[in-house]
Structure 1
Amino acid sequence: MSRSLSRRRAFGRLAFASLFGLACAAVQAQSFPSRPLHLIIPFPPGGVTDIVGRTVATRLSTELGQPVVVENKPGASGILGTELAARAPADGHTLLVGNISTLAVNAATFARLPYDPLTSFVPVSMLAIQPLVVAVHPKVQARTLADLVRLAKANPGTLSYGSAGSSIHLAVEFFNTLVGAQMNHVPYKGSTPAITDLVGGQIDVLFDPFSSLYPQVQAGKVRGLAVTTASRSQVAPDLPTVIENGVAGYDVSSWQGLVVPAGTPQAAIDRLHAAIVKVLAQPEVKEAFAKQGAQASPTSPEQLQQYVRAEVARWKKVATDAGVKPQ
């Protein structure tokens, strides 16, 4: 047998294998999903992550032609539900709504996690981004964020701030580091008790997601000073950004992203991504998000991967700089 004939046969086998692989991928894409999907939300019902997840799930079911069953699995700063998703079969039928806590901040505040936010999951798309609101009790002598900075720097350790979770705690410590202020930290198990104490004057300052805190600003029960994103909120355009108040580099978002277990077939990821992009473009979805002060924010899987990687690195540095040790 000549060498040229052997090479032709080898090339033929390689070409057949490549075509066979492409054909299998196409079949996978067409057959996925083959049964109901499960969307894990690692937080209780009613919060912004839950609302974002449920809003998406309803429309995603229509796009994929299969039911999307929402499962709230709260506990341990979202760790319990996130671990459950990480250990699920990697076939595309289990989805996770991750957020700033589960996919970034937990890596900075917990010494050991039963999952790795960078390797246990494959991103599909960012879902939504919303700002935090910075607010004070009316007794605090600060009409602007610049006033609050001057007050906090002039009276170190006098003002108290609440935090509903480790992500908020680090967000405020990041702020303190940038402005050179010191405020006393009062931890809470959720936004509701923290907001109750702010309204009641038991704490002076609160950074909290827009959807939770802004209604109290609207009601006049607390004084809103700023939003934490680089741009103003379309829902509250009168609130300036922290950056506008002279704190350069302070851009903090409360975000939600859709991920699947590592090892999920690319065909399934592509199908999910295409469906999510369509869902997030729907006017009713944008409107539902806007009511929470959130913005629909589709990305490519690669963009979300880069974003999560950057967030993990950022919050680890913030924790180190603030002296917050992993527990």
Structure 2
Amino acid sequence: MNHGITRRAVLGQGACAAAMLAAPAAAQGAWPNRPVRIMVGFPAGGTTDILGRVAAQALQEELGQPFVVENRPGAGSNIAAQAVLRSAPDGYTLLLGSPGTNAINPHLYSNAGYDPLTDFLPISQIAEVPNLIAAHPGLGVRDVAGLIDLAKRRRLSYGETSIGGSTHLAAELFRLMAGIEATHVPYRGSAPMMTDLLPGRIDYGSDNLPSILPHVRSGALVGIGVTSANRWSAARDIPAIGETLPGYEVTAWFGLVAPRGTPPEVITRANTALRAGLGKAEHASRLMELGAAPIPGTPEEYQRRNEQQFARLGDLIRRVGIRAE
């Protein structure tokens, strides 16, 4: 009698233990079953924020749960990246990866607080955005060759919108490959730089294409060249700098990443949903309106790009001697 009771108790305990072990797997398989946060390391309204909101909307439509963008600006997105890294690796806190968090910041800051290649798991790229180098029309130059020729005859001044960011690196790579010296004037954002570039207080500047292109279209500035490897679909009339300086390329690429330890099934489900959502006409056209090219793909493709750019941009930062204050 006692033996039967003991046996039933043991079996009951075993069943409970099995159920407890199965519960996390079941819950994980149901991801997402509550709202998901996407941390963005820049203020609302900028290119990075808008891309994050497009991705959030696409994921929400595909997966049926709210995806909420939370802006956590500061230190080139390091604050947002560190917050995501400290969160539970359960798929409910993700990071909108930018060039800074993907590749640049560990070379720029003495302690960024993370290694982008090992501390985060790539989900998918979202979009790529080129920069554009534009000059004040008073310089009298219309293209890359003309700007280089003038810069070799007299010292010019140039601006960029983010120390160590892709606009800064685009300007520095241009200077190095062109073999010119020029006076660097740093700015914190597009608006402050335009305050000096539009009236000609500086000679040329580098900015994200969506921000600076309207000034080119209005005639207030001259588009010298886009920083993508080839001409950009949103501005086919503007040459790529690489047409004059072969091998030149500095673009901004954005994607979604999760903290290390996130289950692979969550990564796979998020990747599938994001690729499906960004493939829809309304989201693709929204990205194109921003001057961005949709580039969803596999986690492996995203990681390869991050690794390549980590090495390439890190080398450029060291050559130029850029450090964040």
Same structural fold, with TM-score higher than 0.5 when normalized by the shorter chain? yes
Deviation string 1:21-51 (CA, Å, 9 cap, x unpaired) is: xx99984563111211001111001111111
State the AA in 2 paired with 1:216: H
What pairs with 1:281-292 in structure 2 (closer than 5 Å)? Answer: 281-292=279-290
Q: Distance in 2 between matches of 1:81 and 1:323?
A: 25
Please name the residue that 1:186 is paired with: 185
Q: Is the 8 A contact 1:108 1:326 kept in 2?
A: no
The residue matched to 2:234 in structure 1 has which SS? coil
Q: Distance in 2 between matches of 1:251 and 1:125?
A: 22
Q: Is the 8 A contact 1:163 1:186 kept in 2?
A: yes
Q: CA deviation at 1:79?
A: 1.3
What pairs with 1:122-161 in structure 2 (closer than 5 Å)? Answer: 122-155=121-154, 158-161=155-158
Q: CA deviation at 1:236?
A: 1.2
Deviation string 1:57-83 (CA, Å, 9 cap, x unpaired) is: 112112111111110111111111111
Q: Is the 8 A contact 1:43 1:73 kept in 2?
A: yes
Q: Distance in 1 between matches of 2:256 and 2:224?
A: 31
Q: CA deviation at 1:88?
A: 1.1
Q: CA deviation at 1:254?
A: 1.4
State the AA in 1 paired with 2:251: S
Greater shift after overlay, 132-141 or 317-326?
Answer: 317-326
Please name the residue that 1:86 is paired with: 85
What pairs with 1:192-203 in structure 2 (closer than 5 Å)? Answer: 192-203=191-202
Please name the residue that 1:321 is paired with: 319
Deviation string 1:222-267 (CA, Å, 9 cap, x unpaired) is: 11111110121211110110111x2011111111111011110001
State the AA in 2 paired with 1:318: L
Q: Distance in 1 between matches of 2:67 and 2:75?
A: 25
The residue matched to 2:235 in structure 1 has which SS? coil
Q: Is the 8 A contact 2:228 2:249 kept in 1?
A: yes
Identity of aligned residues (%): 39
Gaps of 5+ in 2: 1-21
Q: Distance in 1 between matches of 2:66 and 2:144?
A: 46
Please name the residue that 1:3 is paired with: none
Question: Given the superposition, is the C-alpha separation of residues 275 and 79 from structure 1 closer, same or farther in structure 2, using an over 3 Å criterion?
Answer: same
Please name the residue that 1:20 is paired with: none
Question: Given the superposition, is the C-alpha separation of residues 258 and 101 from structure 1 closer, same or farther in structure 2, using an over 3 Å criterion?
Answer: same
Deviation string 1:143-172 (CA, Å, 9 cap, x unpaired) is: 1111111111222xx211111112222221
Q: CA deviation at 1:173?
A: 1.2
Please name the residue that 1:10 is paired with: none
Q: Is the 8 A contact 1:98 1:259 kept in 2?
A: yes
Please name the residue that 1:42 is paired with: 41
Please name the residue that 1:258 is paired with: 256
Please name the residue that 1:249 is paired with: 247
User: Which residue, out of 160, 164, 167, partners 1:163?
Assistant: 160
The residue matched to 2:198 in structure 1 has which SS? helix
Please name the residue that 1:222 is paired with: 221
Q: Distance in 1 between matches of 2:119 and 2:134?
A: 36
Please name the residue that 2:16 is paired with: none
Q: Distance in 1 between matches of 2:281 and 2:100?
A: 28
The residue matched to 2:177 in structure 1 has which SS? helix
Q: Distance in 2 between matches of 1:53 and 1:153?
A: 41
Q: CA deviation at 1:124?
A: 0.3
What TM-score do the two structures reach when normalised by structure 1? Answer: 0.89
Q: Is the 8 A contact 1:25 1:267 kept in 2?
A: no
Q: Distance in 2 between matches of 1:24 and 1:228?
A: 50
Please name the residue that 1:306 is paired with: 304
What TM-score do the two structures reach when normalised by structure 2? Answer: 0.89
State the AA in 2 paired with 1:41: V
Q: Distance in 2 between matches of 1:28 and 1:251?
A: 44
RMSD of aligned alpha carbons: 1.8
Q: Is the 8 A contact 2:58 2:278 kept in 1?
A: no
Q: CA deviation at 1:291?
A: 1.1
State the AA in 2 paired with 1:58: Q
Q: Distance in 2 between matches of 1:323 and 1:55?
A: 35
State the AA in 2 paired with 1:160: S
Q: Distance in 2 between matches of 1:205 and 1:127?
A: 30
Please name the residue that 1:6 is paired with: none
Q: Is the 8 A contact 1:26 1:267 kept in 2?
A: no
Please name the residue that 1:108 is paired with: 107
